[in-house]
Structure 1
C-alpha cells in the first residue's frame, strides 16, 4: 500500500470511528467525552424504587449529562458536563439522594492507589470509644479513610501517601492513648493485602451491617409477635387488647411509619413505607386491629428475607469475579517481601508460589508451571508457561515456582480492566431496565389514586355499600401496588447474566449489549486471527527427484536456520529436531528471493520462484492458497513446501452453533486473496465471503449488510480488536476475539471474548437469551400476580394477607429467580 492509500484508509477510519460515539450515546443518551465521570457508592440504599426516583431527578439536574444507578452494586455513575461546577453538582446530587432516602450516605469511589494498613487495638471493648477513635483517625492528614472493626478490634486505614505511614501511626497511638489508655496499639506486619476495590469493600461492610441489622430486626419482630400472640390468644378487655395491639404495632412497624413521615416531609409520598403505613393504620381505624399488626409483621418479615436474598445475590455475583489478587511477593535482593500489587512497579521482579494468584501482568523469566486461567477465560484445561512466556494477573499458578518481570502496573493490568468492566457494566442499562424504571414512576401513583377512588366512589353510588368495607379494600389495594418486585429483580437479572458471561470468558460491557444479543441476525467475521489462528504452519510437503519428505523438510530447515522470518520459523517447527549449526556453511540471504547455504558440502537453495529463475533451475509451478518455498540441492530441483494460515478447530463448530440458534447470515470479510478466502469460507460453511478488502472497505461492506437485516435485527462484527477498530465501532455489536492482554480489543469492542474460541459468540447469545427469559418471567409473574390480586381485592375476594404476598412474596420469588441468570454451566 503506498502512502496515499494509507492516508485514505486512516482518514476513512477516523470518520467511521465517530459511529462508535453515536452507538455509545444511543446506549447512554447523554454520554460525552467532554464530561467528568464520577462514581459514588450509595451506602444503605435498600429501596430499588427510591433508586429509580433518584436516577430520574439526577438526569434532569442542570449540568448533569447522565446519571445511572446500579441497585445491584449500590453504585451511582455520574457524568458531569459543567466541569467548573463539579463540587456544586456533587453537593446537589447528595441533596437529591438524601431528600429521597435520608439515611443513605453518598461516598465517592476513589481510583487512586492507596496503601491499606491494619492496626490491632488489643483490649478495645467500648463501642462508643471505638467510634471516637474512628472519627478522629479520619481527620488525620494523609488518611483517606479509617474504619474501626469493633468485632475484630482492628483499625483499618487507607493512606493516600505511603511516605507518611509512620507519622500517621504515631498520631493513631496518641489518639488511642487519650481515648482508651488501656488499649494496646499493635501494627500488623506483613499482612498489607491489597485494598479491595471500593465496591467490594462497601459490599462487605454493608453485608456485615445488614447481618447485625437483621439480628436486631428479628429480636424486635419476635418481641412484637409475642405481644401480638398474647393479645390474640387471651380474652382481655377491649381497652387492654387495643393497648397490646398498639404496643406490638409500634415495636414491629414504628420505624416504617417514622420513615414514611420523614419521606413525606421531603416530598416523597409514593413509596412502600407510605403504602404500608396507610394500609395498616387504616386497618386500625376501621377496627381491624389484629390484621393491622399481622400485616405489618408479615411485611417486615418478608422485607428481611428479601434483603437476605438480594444480599446473597450480590455476593454470589461478586464471587463469580473474585479474581483480584491479594498480594505480590516482591523480590528485594535475596529476600521476598509480601506487598500490595499496587506497590509494585514496572520492571520489578515478583515470585509466584504454587497455589497463589499471579498478581500482575508480566513475563516469566524463570521457572515452568501449569496455570489455571479459568477465572479469566472460562477454560477448564490449565496452560503451560515457561521462561519467555507472557502471563496475566488473576491466573492461578498450579505447581511450579515462577519468577516474573512485571510489565504493567496493577491499574493498567488485564485483571484490573476486567474487574472495572464487569463492575461498571450495570451503568449501561438495558432498554427493559429503563422501561421498568419509567413504568414504576407512573404505575404507583395511578394505583394510589385508583385506591382513593375505590374507597370513595362505591359507597356513594352503590346502595348498601359501607365506607369501612370499601376503605379496607382500598387499603389492601394500596399494599399490592408497590413495584419493587420488578425494580429489584430485573437489574439483578442483567447483572447476573453479565457476571455469568464473565465467568465463561465473555466480557459484556453493559446490559444494553446483553439485551441486543437477543436480536442478532447477521454475524460478520474477520478471517486472520478470528476464524484462523493467524499463525503460519507447514501444510504441504511435496518432494521430487527421489528425495523423501523428511529429507526435503530437513534441507529447508537447515537452510532457514539463521532466519527469524515467520516462514522460516514455521519450517523449523515442522522439522522439530535440533539444528546442528556446524553443518551449515556460507549462509547467504538473497533479499526478496530466499537463502543459499552449504550443508555438509551440498549447495541448498530455499526460496520463492524468483530464486529458482535466478539460478536457472526448472521448478514446478504451484497454484495454492499458501506461501510456496521451493528447494533445490546442487542445482537440481528437490520439491516445494506450502506454508499457510491454519483454520481454528473451533471455527466450524462456531458457525454451526450460530445457525442452530437462529442467526440468518454468516459472512467473512478478509484482506487476503480470493482463493484463500473462498477456500476458508467453503471449509467452514459460511454464507458469504468478500476478499481483498482494506479496513475502510470492510466498513462499507458492513454498512451494506446492515441494510439487509430487519429494523429490529442486530449485526455483529467479530474481529481482533486492533486493525478492525473502525468496523467494530460501526457494527451494532462489536466483538473482539482473543482479547486477553489486548488493550485495543478491550477499548474498541462492546463484547470481548477472552479466548480464541469463536464458539463463545454462540454462548454469549445463549446467555443473553437465558437472561431475557428470566427477566420476562419476572415481569409476567410480578405483573400477573399484581393484576390478579388487584382485581380480587377490588371485588372483595382478597384480603391484606394476599396483598402483602403480592408485594413482598412476589419480590422475594422474583429475586431468587434472577439469581439463576448467573448459572451458565450448561450453556
Structure 2
C-alpha cells in the first residue's frame, strides 16, 4: 500500500471503531449529533469536498455528488425526525470508502505490474570532466555530448560509439538472448547493458527522444486509448447520473404531493425522501465507471507482466476478436539467423570438415562464416591459417596447417576443378574441398524457433480460423517451413509491397466482426503492421518503426507470446462483460425495490458498494495469467 492508501485505511478503521463505541455510549440530543457528525467527517470529508468542488466547476453529476447528497440527506432526515439514528448515513460512506480503497489498491497493483515490467530507465549518465567521471541526470545531457558507459551500466541515451569495443546485452529491448558486439562507429540505443569494455558514446538524441523514453511513454500512456466498451460506459454515466438524480427528486416530491392534493392524505415527506435517498445510493454507477476501466487496465497490467505490451484497451478488444493471424516468416516463426543444420561427409569425418571450414572462414565477417565458427564451438587459432583469399560470389580458399582448403558454393568447386555432390535438402549448401579433393558439404539454414509449431497449434485451439505465412523466400523453402509448422496458407517470393497487398486481400475476405492480426519482427514490416486490424511486433522494442507501427509489442521472440496475448484479451473481455451485465442487472432490480419501498439503505449499500467490490475483485482476475 502507498501512503495515501494507508491513510485511507486508518480513517476507515478509526470511523468503524468510533461507530461501534458510540453504539454503546448512552448519549442523546445535541452531544449525540455532534459525536456522529465528527465520525461522518472523519470518513467522508473528502467526498463532500469533491462534491462541492464539482458543483463549483460545473461538473455536478458524479458519484461524489450522489454519495454526498444521499448521506447528508439521510443525516438531515434523522435530525428532522428526531430519531437519532445516524448509523445508516455513516455506514453508507464507510462502505463506499472501503470500495474506493479496493479500487485504488487494484489500480496500483496493475500499475506496478506495468512499470516493473522493464527496469530499463537509466538513473544517471557519466560525463568525463577533468579526467574524472561525473554522474549527471540523463535529462541534462545535450545532443552531441560524449558520455562514458562502463561495464555493467545501462546505456542512458541513444548515440554513436566513438571509442571502445564491447558486448551488449539487449535482451530487455529486442528479446535477443545472445550478446551483441559493438565497436567504434556503431549506433547504439538506450536500454542496452554494457557487458565488457568501456564505451564512449556521442549522443544523437535528447533523453526524452531516446528509445528508453519512448518505451516508458508507451507503457505509461497505454490506458489512454479507450475501447468501445469503455467509451460506452463513459457516455452511459454521462446521461445516467443526471437522470437518476432527477428521478430521485421526483420520487421525493411527486408521490407525497399526489397523496396530499388528490387523496387528501398526510404527505409523508420523510418516508418518500428516505426512499429517494435510498434510490440515489443504489443508483450510484461506481461499479460500472470503476470496474470496467479497471478491467481493461488490469488486462494491460497482466499482459505486461507476461511480457506483452498492449498500447491501449481498444487493442485488447480487437485482439479478443481476432480470427486470422498472418505471420512474417523470417525472425517471427524462424530465428532469422543462419545456423549449421547438417554436415554431410564424403571422405572425411564431420567434425574435421567443420573444423577446416571454420578455420578457412575465420577471417571473414560474413553471416555464413559466423555460423560456421559458432557450429565449430572451439577457440579458433588463426595462426594455423595462411594464404587466405576471399573470392566474391564464390567463397574462400586458404591453407590450414599447410593443407589447401576451399569453402564455398558450386561455382568455387568448378573454379578449382572439383566435382561437387548435389544436396537436395532446403537451405544454403557450403561445399568443402581439402587438398584438391571433395570432402563434403555443410547445410546452413534459418532454423525454426522451438515454440513456433506449438504456437500454431495453440492458436487454432484458441479460436483462430486460419494462419497465413508471408515471406520473400523461394517457394521451396516457404512450403517446407509451412508444412513443418502446420500453417494453413503460405505466400512466397514477396516484396514488402506485396505483403501489404496480400494482407489487404485477406482483410477484404473476412467479416466485419472478425479481426486480422499481422505478426512481424517490427523492423521491415511497419507498413503491414499498420495496415492490419492489429499489428504485433515480436522482440522489436529497439526499433522506432516497431514502436510506432505496432499495436502490441512482445518483449521477446517467443511465438507462444502471441497465444498468451490473445488468451489475456479474451479473458479481459469476458470479465468486462460479466461486470457490465452483473452491475446493471443488480442496479435495475434494487432501483425498483427501492422505489416501491422494499429496499432500505442497507440494501442500497449492497447495491452500490457491494456490487462495486465484487466487480472490482472480478476485474483484477485479469492480472493473473496462467502459464501455457
Question: Are the aligned partners of 1:719 and 1:736 in contact in 2 as well (CA < 8 Å)?
Answer: yes
TM-score of the aligned structures, taking structure 1 as reference length: 0.66
Matched, 1:590 2:391: yes
Who is 1:301 aligned against?
94
Task: Give the RMSD, CA atoms, in angstroms.
Answer: 3.8
Aligned to 2:313: 511
Distance 1:589 1:262 in 2: 78
Aligned with residue 529 of structure 2, among 709, 728, 752: 728
Q: Which shifted more, 324-333 or 646-655?
A: 324-333
Give the whole-Å Cα distance in 1 for the aligned partners of 2:33 and 2:382.
103
Any idea what the Cα deviations from partners look like across 1:760-810, whole Å, max 9, x if unmatched? 011111121222233223223322221221122123221012213322333
C-alpha distance in structure 2 between counterparts of 1:608 and 1:383, whole Å = 29
Higher relative contact order (CA 8 A, sep 6+): 2
Aligned to 2:70: 279
1:783 equivalent in structure 2:
584
Structure 1, unpaired ranges of 5+: 1-203
Match of 1:444?
241
User: Match for residue 47 of structure 1?
Assistant: none
Report the Cα distance in structure 2 between the residues aligned to 1:367 and 1:565, rounded to whole angstroms. 20
Equivalent residues of 1:720, 1:739 under 8 A apart: yes
Q: 1:560 aligns with which of 343, 351, 361?
A: 361
- What does residue 754 of structure 1 align with? 555
Paired residues for 1:230-629 under 5 Å: 234=26, 236=28, 260=51, 263-264=54-55, 266-280=57-71, 282-283=73-74, 284-285=76-77, 287-288=80-81, 293-320=86-113, 321-322=115-116, 323=119, 324-327=121-124, 335=132, 337-343=134-140, 347-351=146-150, 403=198, 405-406=200-201, 410-456=207-253, 458=255, 460=258, 466-544=268-346, 546-629=347-430
- Preserved CA contact (<8 Å) 1:358 1:392: yes
SS at match of 1:537: strand
SS at match of 1:728: helix
Distance verdict in 2 for CA 1:495–1:357, change over 3 Å: farther
Check if 1:655 corresponds to 2:475: no
Structure 1 residue 568 displacement after superposition? 1.9
CA shift for structure 1 position 293: 2.8
Partner of 2:241: helix, strand, or coil? helix
CA-to-aligned-CA distance 1:37-82 (integer Å, 9 cap, x gap): xxxxxxxxxxxxxxxxxxxxxxxxxxxxxxxxxxxxxxxxxxxxxx
CA distance in 2, matches of 1:582, 1:240: 99
What is the rounded CA distance, in whole Å, between the counterparts of 2:17 and 2:388 in structure 1?
94
Q: How many Å separate the matches in 1 of 2:36 and 2:565?
A: 55
SS of alignment partner, residue 530 of structure 1: helix
Superposed displacement of residue 290, structure 1: 5.3
Name the CA shift for 1:586/1:427 in 2 (closer, same or farther; >3 Å). Answer: same
Count of equivalent residues:
609
Per-residue CA distance 1:517-558 (angstroms, 9 max, x = gap): 1011010000111111111112222222x2222332233233
The DSSP-based 3-state class of the residue aligned with 2:150 is strand
- Residues 670, 690 of structure 1: 8 Å contact kept: yes
**Contact 2:309-2:552 at 8 Å conserved across structures:** yes
Query: 1:276·1:296 contact (CA, 8 Å) conserved in 2?
Result: no
The answer to whether the 8 Å contact 2:170/2:191 transfers is: no
Deviations 1:124-164 (A, max 9, x none): xxxxxxxxxxxxxxxxxxxxxxxxxxxxxxxxxxxxxxxxx
For 2:97 and 2:63, locate their aligned partners in 1 and report how far apart those are by CA, in whole Å: 14
User: By how many angstroms is 1:214 displaced?
Assistant: 6.7
**Contact 1:228–1:248 at 8 Å: present in 2 too?**
no
- Is the partner of 1:683 in helix, strand or coil? helix
For 2:44 and 2:382, locate their aligned partners in 1 and report how far apart those are by CA, in whole Å: 88
CA pair 252-574 structure 1, distance change in 2 beyond 3 A: closer
- CA separation of 1:352/1:612 partners in 2, compared to 1, >3 Å: closer, same or farther? closer
**8 A contact 1:348–1:405 mirrored in 2:** yes
Task: Measure the CA separation in 1 of the matches of 2:451 and 2:360.
Answer: 34
Give the counterpart of 1:701 among 493, 502, 509: 502
